[in-house]
Structure 1
Amino acid sequence: MRSNKSRDTKPELALRKAVHALGLRYRVAVRLPLPGRRRTADLVFPRLRIAVFLDGCFWHGCPEHHSVAKTNSAYWSEKLRANRERDADTDRRLEEAGWSVIRVWEHEDPVEAAHRVATAVRTARASQVAGRSR
């Protein structure tokens, strides 16, 4: 498993390219401010408190594309259950801290996913501006 890349995968690069093409600027592979937890988001808009995660279909148990391992199935079943549980915990903790979380599956069209990200960024910016004008 050591040879599995944690960043700069083809789906991640495609998403980053599509988000960048929409004129958005972001940080890559940022460790999130969760006390006692090591969690890293794939794209982060720190001032807007938006974290984007690109989840691999195999590693996160995609409901559309995940297939059950034939070899060592008990290990992989537990591994994927723990991954999904960790993802849910990360989402909950970030949302409690005032962050917006966007999860994108690796099989999703990167341009469509980039538009979801752009919508969240526009909404967060509008909210910030409205908050300042009060």
Structure 2
Amino acid sequence: MSLIKGKDTKPEIILRSMLHRSGFRFRLHDKKLPGKPDIVLPRYNTVIFINGCFWHRHENCKYAYTPKSRQDFWNKKFQATLLRDTKKEKQLKDAGWNVVTIWECEIKKQPDNVLDELTDKLIN
């Protein structure tokens, strides 16, 4: 698992590129914020997490399967990830940030829709 990338993943790079082309300016992986959000848009008081469907258990997604071997290990690992996600989201909201979660499969399937929805959330 040490080879699994934690940042600068393909979905992250795709979304960052689309945001930048649309005129949004942002910071990456701000260590001062809980959970080190993937993208921080200070002007809009918004943080974005780009979650992998497998690791963060995207409901009803074909990529969020549980491996057949060592299921106890995987279930504990996934449960810990979900608890950590909930905790960091609550901390950010309590600090006044808007939290947006974008799923890997959404970026793969419909990147333009993701950008449109995100732009609507940021501007409106």
Tell me the TM-score range normalised by the shorter chain: 0.7 to 0.9
SS of the equivalent of 1:76 reads: helix
Residues 53-101 of structure 1 deviation map (CA, whole Å, 9 limit, x = unaligned): 0000111011112111111110111111111111111111111111000
Q: Could you say which structure has the larger radius of gyration?
A: 1
* Counterpart in the other structure of 1:57: 53
CA contact (8 A) 1:55 1:104 kept: yes
Q: 1:83 aligns with which of 81, 84, 88?
A: 81
| Structure 1: segments with no counterpart, 5+ residues | 124-134
Greater Cα offset, 75-84 or 44-53: 44-53
| Root mean square deviation, CA, Å | 1.4
Equivalent residue letter for 1:49: N
Equivalent residue letter for 1:121: L
* Counterpart in the other structure of 2:40: 44
- TM-score normalised according to structure 2 size: 0.87
* Counterpart in the other structure of 2:99: 101
CA contact (8 A) 1:11 1:110 kept: no
SS of the equivalent of 2:38 reads: strand
Q: 1:85 to 1:76 in 2, by over 3 A?
A: same
Identity %: 32
Q: Find the aligned partners of 1:78 and 1:7 in 2 and give their Cα distance.
A: 23
CA contact (8 A) 1:69 1:76 kept: yes
Mapping of residues 1-134 of structure 1, within 5 Å: 1-34=1-34, 39-63=35-59, 64-65=61-62, 66-108=64-106, 109-123=110-124
How many residue pairs get aligned? The number is 119
CA deviation after TM superposition for structure 1 residue 32, in Å? 4.1
Q: Find the aligned partners of 1:67 and 1:110 in 2 and give their Cα distance.
A: 23
- Structure 1 outlier segments of 4+, above 4 Å: none
Per residue, is there more helix in 1 or in 2?
2
